[in-house]
Structure 1
Amino acid sequence: MVEFKFSDPPLGNGTDEISSECQRQLLPIVNEIVRAAAAAGWNEKDVLLAMADVAWDLYEKRRGDL
């Protein structure tokens, strides 16, 4: 299991901080997924696009909950 460690959220409009922190924690995992898929013969760009689709779908589903 992967463990993420986030501190308190940034105050005000901290979208840059949020983006940087998420990228710092997620980039190694995303890179590992892409490497594993590429090793199995998958197209790296297709895998990245699929991951973006998954993230967008999660966003859309949560957006209705807010």
Structure 2
Amino acid sequence: MMRFNFEGPPVGEGDMSAECQRQLLPLVREIVQAAVASGWNQDDVLLAFVELTWDLYEKRRGDL
């Protein structure tokens, strides 16, 4: 089971997006590596992440 240990967001003038990406990168890499080890194509997995996150973003926008 994966554990998520996010640190709090940056305070003040911090780059929110860069900090979130920094914290997510190890998790995404681990998922992609596991998928590739199971026979998935790395490009397909990465593209699936893009599509999934865009769908989540669009659904959130619809909730506003």
Class of the TM-score when normalised by the shorter of the 2 chains = 0.7 to 0.9
Runs of 4 or more, structure 1, over 4 Å off, are 8-11
For structure 1, the 5+ residue unaligned runs are none
Q: How does 1:1-66 map to 2 (within 5 A)?
A: 1-7=3-9, 10=12, 17-66=15-64
Matched letter for residue 64 of structure 1: G
Count how many residue pairs are aligned between Structure 1 and Structure 2.
62
- Residues 8-63 of structure 1 show CA distances to partners (whole Å, capped at 9, x for unaligned) of 5656xx7xx12211111000000000100010110001000001111001000000
- Contact map agreement 1:10 1:18 (CA 8 A) in 2: no
Indicate the percent of aligned positions where both proteins have the same amino acid.
60
Matched letter for residue 32 of structure 2: V
